[in-house]
Every structure is written in C-alpha cells, then in structure tokens.
C-alpha cells in the first residue's frame, strides 16, 4: 500500500535542517548557547523576576524566571514559598530555559503538501490559514461522522486547552499516555481499596517516615522534586529504606535492604510479605478491625504464600523476605509503601498495586504520619461557560465493554478504533494532539503507524519538531511555558497551594500560547460562549478572585498557600472514618473487583521468560531528562547526550562486549533499534535483564542535537500486556538480543 501520510523528517521551512544537524553534532563549548550568553554578566539587581511553574515535567514546581534589561531570560530558580519545589528546582527544571532558547523550535505553523513525485513536505503557513484549515476539517468531520469521531491525545496544560476545545465541540474521545502508559493501574487499585486516588504530587509522607519501601520506584533517577528532597531528609534521619529492583538503582544504593528481584515477580514478594505480617501476627489489629473488610478471606488466601514459596519465584531468600517484613512492622505505622507512578509493567499491574495498598492497610499506615497523609487541593471554580454538549459516544464506548474499571481513555484503544480492520463500532476518523509525543510514548509503533495512515486528518500542537509532528497535516507551534499565561496550578499536598504561570518574555518566532490557539479554532467553529474573554489573564484573574486572591497579588508572590478545609492531615487514633468503597471500609477483599469478575485478592501469575539469547528489556529515567522531550535541550544535552544499555558482566563476557562498545538491539519480533547504543558493563543489573533510559534515539532530523543519539526503548516495545481491569499496557515483556553490525545499513545503502 502506498504510504498516505509520510513521516516528514526534513522540512522546507526554516534552515536546511540536514546541514544544521551535522553542524550541531560538532558543536562544542560556547557555541552551544549562542543566544543567551551573548549578553554581559549581570547581577540579580538588574534582573526582573516573573512567576511561572515548570513544564519540564508534571510535578509543576513553581519558579521565578529572571529577565535582564535586554529582555533575555537569564535563569529560572525555584520559588521558596512553593511546597512542590521549596525554592529548588531539579536539574531539568534549572535547564528549562533551554526549551525557550532551542533554535530547533517550531517557528511557524506548517501545512503538509505533496510534491509532484508524491513525496510530502511541510510548507510554512500563516496562522489564519493553519487555524482555518483545522477548523474546516473539524466542521467536515462533524458533518460526516459526528464530532465524536474526532479523537484527541492530550497531556499537561497544552492538553487541557485542547480538551476544553474538543469538549465544547462535542468530543470526549480522548486518551493520554499518562494514564494507560503510566499511573492508571495505581488509580484503579487504590480506588478499589480505599475509595481514594493517590493523585499528583503523591501524598507520600516521606519526610517524616521511619521506613520507605520502594518497589521499582527509582527516586533520585525519577527526579520528582519534592520526593527527592524528602527522601534525602529521610536518609538524614536514618529512616530504613527497602528497595525492590532488579537493578541496583540510585535509591538501592541508599538502602538498608536491596532486594534484586527477578523481574515480573513482585506480586509473589508482596503476597509473602502479607503472609508474614498475618501469620506472625505483626499486622495492626486495631486498624484491621476498625477499618477493613475481608481480613479472614485474605488470611486464608495467603496461607500458602510463604516466603519459601516466594523464594522459588522471586529469587529473594526467605530470610530476607521475613526480615524486611519484620522491619516494616517494627516501624509501622510510619511506613511508606510507595505506590509508584509508572506502574504499567506486566499487565497484572492493578493487582500488584492492590497488593501494595493491602500491605499499607495491614501496617495500619493509611492516613498516618510517616505514611500516606490525607492530601488536600484548592478547588478553583471554573470560569463561567455553557455546559459542554453530551457526546453520543466517548472514549469509554471505544473499549466495547472491556477494561470496565478504566477511568480515563486508553491510548491503544483509541488508536485501534482509528484502524478500520479492528471493526470498532465507533470509528475514529481524525486526531488532534497536544503535549504528547505518541510515537515514542506508545507501545507497538506499528499500531500507531497503521492508524495514522487510516485517519483523514491529524493536527498537532507542540513546541518542538518531534516524531509526532512528522505525521501531522497541520503543525501548530506553541510558545514555551516561559512565554505564556496558562492554567493556574492547583496542587494537592499537605496544604493546598496554587501557582501562577505568566509570560516573562514575548513568544519567540511566530509561536503562540496554547490557550490562544485553541480559542482561535473555537471562534472559527462558532463556540464563542466557551471563550468569553479576550485574554487568558482574564480567566485567571476571575478564578483568583473567587478564592480571595487576584492576578495582581499572584504576579508579586507566584505561589499562594491556603489553610486546610477538610480537617487534619492525619487520621486520629480510632477516629470514625467512612471510606468511599462499597462496604465503607478499606477493602482487603475487593467487592468492586469481584462484581466486575476480577480476582478480589491479588494472585501471582507467571509471565513469559526471555527466549534463548535474549534478555528482558527494562527501562527507567535519567535525572537529567524528561521522557522524550528534553534530549535536544542545550543544557540537558550537555549533561547527558545519549543513553546506554546496561549489561551484566557475565552477559558481556558471553557476547564479548566491552564497556563503550556500540551495539544495536533486536527484539523478539525482529524489531531493531534505529541507532547504535553504548554498552555499559555493570554488576548493577541482573544477568537476565538489560536496562535503558527512556526517551533517547530520536529519529526526527530537525532535532539537531538529539537526532540519532542512543536507542529508543519504545522501538523495542512491540509487545504489551493489557491489564484487563483498566487497560494499562504492560511494557516490560519484551526481550532483546545484541547485534554488532548495523542491521539498518542495507536499507540505507539501497535508499
């Protein structure tokens, strides 16, 4: 079949990107930062601070952006009054100005065109033309198939502006990778157990804990700011840390116990811990009696799930399982069983999360100091607007009865519904995406590629020429977070707080704020009533006035904290409390799961093992980068230019691999990495697995620094295991082997 929507790597807009790419790869030292550092040295007195909050990841740390007299942003530093940052940004946040200064940014709207020979390219367009085209396609899809057939993918603030437009237009056919590729299983599990979500920032009381249990969660590499800060406080206070990870992660190095578990077996370990707590009578009897439902069933259920049983599965010795369970019980209730965040691993992830939630309950630790506190966020009233129209069908209907406990759209299902051969009752015909780089954040790229060929139209709003923009029909360049007003941040925490993001400089090039772009499209669709303001600052000011503040006040302080309104931070001893579950209790036995036909208590099931000569691919974060969004950022690129593949010395010797050797990876489905990746030989990884940092291996040549650097874990994730409960895509079920010769060479020679 002839490719309908070609991936456009090189555009005719802007400078010759290929030449630029080669030049940039040779760039060193000072030319790295041509724009910002052409100014003279300045002192703080000569700088004007503007409030913002960081967009490099979704922790949303509040900050001050400092601008010099020539209008150049000189630095971004944490807002000292902000509970998310406590005045300190992580390395990525500090390097956030690189997003603004990146000369590879999207500079103008772009529209896909076809040459006479059939090849596709982007041509520069005016805003009026690009917005008009998007609006006319939205009208067309609505007339032909109904607004519901216009699907959308959203993440973060840009995604929220898109969502407002799409709901006003009549579509709720949406999904974000931050659900089914991230925290979805955690939401389903904690909701089933406690009738409450964990939320973001997580309500983990790490600062005050006596014992922190990390199952996977690699805090310190995962740089979610407050957690990293609190973990160092906990270390200073000599809290016990227990890390369960097949890799000797950064937190494992700070731990009293490192449990180098065989991947995919955590449920067995958790059930054995539960067994020890129950059968050694170490659990909190008062808590269990007063607040929980289903203890007797649980006790029976775990009877045979002994440490000896778990040893055969996890490779963790029974003695270590017992000792760590006793250690937790000794510190209870001041124990954080960290609920994790990226938890889509093996397809039974909701059940693993359930086991973690149950463990917390047995330790009597929910709602207690040093465990999970009771979080609160400030409710910000919605700016007045008409009700959104009721769509005839939405994301949930696309699931066709599967994944009954999903609370948000599932990316893979929306994508399948866009492919006619899946014969979904509800066909998705066009897409809009904002703030997500689907080709690098979704498992099974083939699915994405097939879907993108099937749809009639694709609009993308981004700041950078990413993989996703290469597939767009229209590219809408958004201004970076330092150049725009945006939604107020209302963060949950020990105390509610809000933060302002305002522009510290004018948008560079011909980029525009997301709110403006979406409003313009809305206006063209006749949705004026949903955009009853001229500037987004009016919305912010109105909202602030509802909570006793104002835009003027927030411009001066950036962050405002509020008193709690929902009562104390912790549950008092034996306080009456009704949980929002079917039984009103903490459900050790889940009636919700039982009614929906799922195991009411977690069960360990074995997962496929690596085939001959293959190793399980596990992945994680680098402290210097966020997903796939920062690899081209000057500052962060300078700190880390590529990823490596971690290989155990015994495996390295078997394959005659040395430190620094370059290899290509090939997975069980014969997918190969586009670019070579350096071998890191280290005892810090089990022999049965290899490890990579996610987000590298960019294939869009517009990214002059990131292009071709390292390997993409996503390329190796052709397989995924669906979580039947909520549709999470377990992505650690892929196995890779090493290739020493370039498998892509033949293809390139021919091309």
Ligand X SMILES: Nc1nc2c(c(=O)[nH]1)N[C@H]1C(S)=C(S)[C@@H](COP(=O)(O)OP(=O)(O)OC[C@H]3O[C@@H](n4cnc5c(=O)[nH]c(N)nc54)[C@H](O)[C@@H]3O)O[C@H]1N2
Binding site for ligand SF4 (CB under 6 A): 54, 56-57, 59-61, 85, 89-90, 92-93, 223-225
Per CB under 5 A, 474 contacts Mo ion: no
- Residue 713 CB contacts under 8 Å (≥ 6 apart), including other chains: 617, 619, 692, 693, 694, 697
Short-list 447, 368, 424, 488, CA closest to 671? 447
190 binds, among ligand SF4, ligand X, Mo ion, none (CB under 5 to 8 A by kind): none
Q: How far is the CB of 476 from ligand SF4 (least distance, A)?
A: 24
61 interface partner picked from ligand X, ligand SF4, Mo ion, none, CB below 5 to 8 A per type: ligand SF4
Q: Copy the structure tokens of residue 282.
A: 């170490």
DSSP track, 461-483: EESS--TTGGG-SEEEEBPPGGG
Q: Quick one: angle between helices 266-279 and 349-362, nearest 10?
A: 20
265: Cβ–Cβ under 8 A, 6 or more apart, which residues?
A: 310, 313, 314, 315, 604
Residue nearest ligand SF4 (C-beta atom):
93
Judged by beta carbon distances under 5 to 8 A according to partner kind, the member of ligand X, ligand SF4, Mo ion, none in contact with residue 608 is none
Q: State both tokens at 354.
A: 């359930």
- Which CB, 88 or 142, lies closer to ligand SF4? 88
Contacts of residue 747, Cβ cutoff 8 Å, sequence gap at least 6? none
Select from ligand X, ligand SF4, Mo ion, none the partner in contact with residue 365, using the beta carbon and a kind-dependent cut-off of 5 to 8 Å.
none
d(CA 534, CA 546): 19
Alpha helix stretches (DSSP H) within 45-126: 91-94, 97-101
For Mo ion, what does the binding mask look like between residues 324 and 363, x meaning CB under 5 A?
------------------x---------------------
Q: 49 or 514, CB closer to ligand X?
A: 514
H or E segment and range at residue 214:
strand 211-215
CA distance 430 to 412: 15
Binds 732: which of Mo ion, ligand SF4, ligand X, none (CB < 5-8 Å by kind) = ligand X
Residue among 252 and 586 whose Cβ is closer to ligand X: 252
Q: State which residue, 334 or 630, has the beta carbon closest to ligand X.
A: 630
**Distant-in-sequence, close-in-space partners of 45: CB < 8 Å, separation ≥ 6:** none
Q: In 95-131, which positions are buried (b, 16+ CB within 10 angstroms) versus exposed (e)? A: bbbbbbbbbbbbbbbbbbeeeeeeebbbebbebeebb
Q: Residue 716 binds what, of Mo ion, ligand SF4, ligand X, none (CB under 5 to 8 Å, by partner type)?
A: none
Smaller CB separation from ligand X, 338 or 585 = 338
Give the residue with the Cβ less far from ligand X, 95 or 246: 246
Closest to ligand X by CB, 291 vs 481, is: 481
Lookup result for tokens 């903490």: 586
Q: How far is the CB of 452 from ligand X (least distance, A)?
A: 15
Residue 182 as a binder of Mo ion (CB under 5 A): the answer is: yes
Q: Which option in ligand SF4, ligand X, Mo ion, none does residue 246 bind, with CB closer than 5 to 8 A by kind?
A: ligand X
Which of ligand X, ligand SF4, Mo ion, none interacts with 728 (beta carbon under 5 to 8 A by kind)? none
Q: Which residue's CB is nearer to Mo ion, number 178 or number 447?
A: 178
Closest to ligand X by CB, 508 or 560:
508
| Sheet with 240-244, edge to edge strand ranges | 257-259, 240-244, 211-215, 335-337
Cα separation, 134 vs 525, whole angstroms:
10
Element (H, E) at 184: helix 184-194
CA neighbours closer than 13 Å in the CB half-sphere of residue 105: 22
Query: Which partner in Mo ion, ligand X, ligand SF4, none is near 261 (CB below 5 to 8 A by kind)?
Result: ligand X
Closest to ligand X by CB, 374 or 468: 468
- Count, residues near Mo ion per rule CB under 5 A: 2
User: Do residues 730 and 347 lie in contact, with contact meaning Cβ atoms separated by under 8 Å?
Assistant: yes
Do residues 435 and 158 touch, judged by C-beta distance below 8 A? yes
Question: Least separation, in Å, of the C-beta of 177 and Mo ion?
Answer: 8
In whole angstroms, how close is the CB of 168 to ligand X at the nearest point? Answer: 19
For ligand X, the binding residues (CB under 6 A) are 55, 57-58, 92, 155, 158, 177-178, 181-182, 215-218, 222-224, 244-247, 249, 261, 263-264, 266, 340-342, 345, 434-437, 440-441, 461-464, 466, 468, 478, 480-481, 514, 618-623, 625-629, 691, 694, 713-714, 717, 731-732
Which among ligand X, Mo ion, ligand SF4, none contacts residue 225 (Cβ within 5 to 8 A by kind)? Answer: ligand SF4
- Chain residues in the site for Mo ion (CB under 5 A): 182, 342
């Amino acid at each position: 079949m002839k490719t309908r929507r070609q991936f456009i790597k090189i555009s005719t807009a802007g400078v010759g990107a290929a030449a630029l790419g080669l030049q940039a790869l040779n760039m060193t030292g000072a030319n790295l930062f041509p724009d910002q550092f052409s100014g003279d040295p300045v002192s703080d007195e000569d700088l004007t601070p503007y409030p913002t909050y960081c967009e490099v990841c979704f922790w949303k740390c509040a900050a001050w952006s400092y601008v010099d007299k020539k209008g150049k942003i000189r630095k971004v530093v944490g807002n000292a009054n902000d509970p998310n940052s406590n005045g300190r940004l992580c390395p990525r946040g500090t390097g956030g100005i690189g997003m603004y200064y990146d000369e590879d940014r999207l500079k103008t709207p772009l529209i896909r065109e076809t040459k006479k020979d059939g090849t596709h390219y982007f041509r520069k367009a005016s805003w009026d033309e690009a917005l008009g085209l998007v609006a006319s396609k939205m009208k067309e899809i609505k007339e032909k198939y109904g607004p519901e057939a216009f699907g959308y993918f959203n993440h973060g603030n840009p995604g929220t502006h898109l969502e407002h437009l799409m709901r006003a237009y009549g579509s709720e056919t949406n999904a974000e990778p931050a659900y089914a590729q991230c925290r979805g299983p955690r939401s389903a599990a904690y909701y089933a157990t406690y009738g409450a979500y964990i939320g973001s920032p997580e309500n983990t009381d790490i600062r005050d804990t006596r014992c922190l249990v990390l199952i996977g969660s690699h805090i310190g590499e995962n740089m979610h700011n407050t957690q990293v800060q609190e973990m160092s406080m906990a270390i200073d206070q000599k809290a016990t840390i227990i890390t369960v990870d097949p890799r000797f992660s950064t937190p494992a190095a700070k731990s009293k116990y490192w449990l180098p578990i065989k991947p995919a077996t955590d449920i067995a370990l958790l059930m054995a811990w539960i067994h020890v707590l129950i059968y050694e009578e170490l659990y909190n009897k008062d808590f269990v009696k007063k607040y929980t439902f289903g203890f007797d069933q649980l006790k029976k259920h775990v009877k045979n799930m002994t440490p000896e049983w778990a040893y055969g599965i996890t490779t963790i010795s029974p003695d270590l399982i017992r000792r760590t369970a006793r250690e937790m019980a000794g510190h209870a209730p001041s124990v954080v069983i960290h609920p994790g965040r990226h938890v889509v691993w093996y397809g039974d992830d909701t059940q693993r999360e359930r086991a973690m939630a149950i463990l917390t309950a047995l330790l009597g630790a929910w709602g207690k100091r040093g465990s999970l506190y009771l979080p609160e966020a400030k409710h910000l009233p919605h700016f007045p607007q008409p009700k959104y129209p009721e769509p005839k069908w939405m994301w949930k209907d696309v699931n066709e009865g599967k994944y009954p406990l999903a609370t948000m759209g599932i990316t893979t299902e929306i994508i399948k519904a866009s492919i006619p051969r899946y014969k979904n009752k509800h066909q998705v015909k066009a897409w809009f995406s904002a703030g997500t780089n689907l080709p690098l954040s979704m498992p099974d790229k083939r699915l994405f590629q097939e879907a993108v060929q099937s749809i009639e139209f694709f609009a993308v709003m981004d700041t950078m020429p990413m993989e996703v923009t290469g597939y767009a029909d229209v590219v809408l360049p958004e201004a970076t977070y330092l150049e725009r007003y945006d939604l107020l941040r209302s963060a949950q925490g020990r105390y509610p707080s809000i933060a302002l993001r305002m522009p510290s400089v004018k948008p560079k090039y011909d980029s525009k704020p997301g709110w403006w772009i979406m409003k313009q499209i809305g206006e063209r669709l006749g949705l004026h009533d949903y955009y009853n303001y001229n500037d987004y600052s009016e919305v912010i000011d109105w909202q602030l006035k509802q909570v006793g503040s104002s835009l003027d006040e927030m411009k001066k302080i950036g962050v405002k904290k509020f008193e709690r309104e929902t009562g104390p931070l912790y549950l008092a001893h034996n306080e009456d409390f009704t949980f929002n579950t079917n039984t009103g209790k903490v459900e050790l036995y889940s009636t919700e799961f039982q009614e929906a036909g799922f195991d009411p208590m977690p069960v360990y099931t074995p997962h496929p093992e690596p085939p001959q000569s293959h190793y399980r691919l596990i992945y994680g974060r680098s402290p210097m980068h966020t997903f796939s969004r920062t690899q081209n950022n000057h500052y962060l690129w300078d700190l880390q230019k590529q990823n490596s593949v971690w290989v155990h010395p015994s495996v390295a010797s078997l394959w005659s691999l040395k430190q620094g050797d370059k290899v290509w990876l090939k997975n069980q489905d014969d997918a190969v990495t586009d670019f070579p990746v350096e071998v890191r030989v280290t005892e810090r990884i089990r022999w049965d697995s290899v490890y990579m940092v996610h987000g590298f291996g960019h294939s869009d040549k517009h990214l002059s620094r990131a292009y071709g650097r390292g390997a993409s874990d996503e390329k190796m994730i052709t397989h995924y295991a669906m979580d039947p409960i909520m549709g999470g895509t377990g992505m650690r079920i892929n196995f890779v082997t090493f290739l020493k010769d370039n498998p892509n060479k033949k293809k390139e020679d021919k091309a």
